[in-house]
Amino acid sequence: MKIIVLGAPGVGKGTVAAMLSKKYGLPHISTGDIFKDAIRNETTLGLKVRSIVETGQLVPDEITNEIIRERLEKPDVKNGFFLDGYPRTIEQANAMDTFAKPDLALNFSADRNIIIERLSGRRVCTKCGAIYHIRNNPPKKSGTCDNCLGKLIMRKDDSEAVIINRLDVYERQTKPLIGFYRKKGLLAEINSGYQMNEMEKIIKQCDDAIARVKNG
Q: Among 48-62, 89-103, 121-135, 178-192, name the one with the lowest average pLDDT.
A: 48-62
Confidence of residue 4 (pLDDT cuts 50, 70, 90): very high
95 domain residue, yes or no: yes
Task: Check if 182 is active-site.
Answer: no
Task: Check if 13 is active-site.
Answer: yes
Provide the number of structural domains found in the chain: 1
How would you write 181-216 as a 3-class SS string?
HHHCCCEEEEECCCCHHHHHHHHHHHHHHHHHHHCC
SS3 6: strand
Q: Is the pLDDT confidence value at 141 over 80?
A: yes
140 domain residue, yes or no: no
Which entry of 13, 36, 118, 123 is annotated as an active-site residue? 13
Task: Check if 122 is active-site.
Answer: yes
Which entry of 48, 50, 69, 155 is annotated as an active-site residue? 155
Q: What is the pTM assigned to this prediction?
A: 0.80
Task: Check if 166 is active-site.
Answer: yes
Instruction: DSSP letter for 54, please.
Output: H
Q: Identify the pLDDT of residue 82.
A: 97
In whole angstroms, how far apart are CA 209 and each of 27, 160, 194, 202, 212? 18, 33, 18, 11, 5
Q: What does the alpha-carbon distance between residue 31 and residue 85 come to, in Å, rounded to a whole number?
A: 5
Taking a C-beta distance cutoff of 8 angstroms, is the pair 112, 167 a contact? yes
User: With 0-12 CB in 10 A as exposed, 13-18 as middle and 19+ as buried, what is 170?
Assistant: buried
76 domain residue, yes or no: yes
149 domain residue, yes or no: no
Q: Identify the pLDDT of residue 17.
A: 93
Q: Is the pLDDT confidence value at 39 over 90?
A: no
152-153 vs 81-84, strand pairing mode: unpaired
165 domain residue, yes or no: no
| Domain CATH code at residue 49 | 3.40.50.300
Q: Identify the pLDDT of residue 93.
A: 96
Which entry of 36, 88, 118, 123 is annotated as an active-site residue? 88
Q: Which amino acid belongs to residue 31?
A: T
Domain of residue 10 covers 2-110+174-214
Cα–chain center distance at 83: 8
